[in-house]
Amino acid sequence: MTAPATAHSLWSPAHETLRGQVRAWVADHVAPHVDAWEAAGAFPRELFAAAGEARLLGWKVDAEHGGAGPDLLADAVVSEEMAACGSGGVAAAIGAHKDLGAYYLWGFGTPEQRRRWVPACVRGELVTALAVTEPGAGSDVAAIRTRAVRDGGDWVLDGAKTFITNGAWADVLVVAAVTDPQRGAHHGATLFVVESADAGFAARRLSTLGWRTSVTAELTFDAVRLPADRVLGGEAAIGGAFAAIMGNFQWERLVLALGAVRNAADALAVAAAAPGGDRRLCDHRLGDLLAETAAARALVEHALRRHVAGADAVRETSMAKFYACELAVRVCGAALAAVGADGLRAERRVERLLRDAR
């Protein structure tokens, strides 16, 4: 997209046109089904291909590899509109594919690895996941224990990951493992590409409080043998996993913050329209939260503007993600109070907003 933004807006007219297109796609292909998908605890895997056909998955990727970008702002528009689909799990699964697994393949892969996997990811024919979080280590990248050791020309991978979005149905997974214990995870961890058909790999779906339609999983790697060309980025990238993960954290935080602000705004809209609850008390509180939500969006857009411009935005991005996500939980809780007991009914979706926000 080449149309410039207006003087006071981060979004160009072309981005706003895209916003309308994505919103219409969500209204047609997702929103009518989310109640049934939430009840079933899953959505059809074919939705990835449908999103690919609608050109929602390739805004960070160039045309040579099947994308429509790179345009980070356009991709942010997709993330924000998906966040409003009515099911946090659907938004999380699409996001984990385009912002994590596929984005790592695109951003850190060799030319051959890009050609091998990225176009099919953009089309939604392959589903991807990023596997970093571990039992006992959580999201502390420096504490991961999964190991990969050389064996001739191959690598042998052993370990476990948990809370991996898309983990139970991903075709391709980007996996962080320590390859040089002497240097630790900071300088001795490497990213590998694992395919779901690889011998020794197994995934078990987990039950979660929120994001119930996302296929979040626990993964095990039992002597998974990987050829040398499965090192993401090739031989030169060995030991570089920590830096790569830390670098991409900024984009992950931004899209989560955008989604949180959108969820807060949606919850306020539900509360404002509710006939039940203590209106005198809630009107005052919701007015304060409306102001906070506007402030959170300004903070997120400021961080996004700096990130897209190539400026150092670590501090701004971290603040935006923390504040927006914390605010979303408070806003959704207030919305539930405003709606009253009626909000606990699943079809009201208020309790779902709170679960997904947390």
| Catalytic residue ranges | 252
Assign residue 68 a region (left: φ > 0; alpha: ψ between -120 and 50; beta: otherwise).
alpha
Q: What is the CA radius of gyration of the chain?
A: 21
CA atoms within a 13 Å half-sphere pointing along the CA-CB vector of 118: 26
How far apart CA 219 and CA 198 sit, in angstroms, is: 13
CB 231 within 8 A of CB 191: yes
* Rounded Cα distance, 271 and 340, in Å: 10
Q: Which two tokens stand for residue 250?
A: 């900024």
- Please state, as a whole number, how many other Cβ atoms lie within 10 Å of the Cβ of residue 68: 19
CA distance 129 to 234: 19
Q: What is the rounded distance in angstroms from the CA atom of residue 20 to the CA atom of residue 22?
A: 6
H or E element in which residue 78 lies: helix 72-83
For 130, phi then psi, to 5°, come to -110, 130
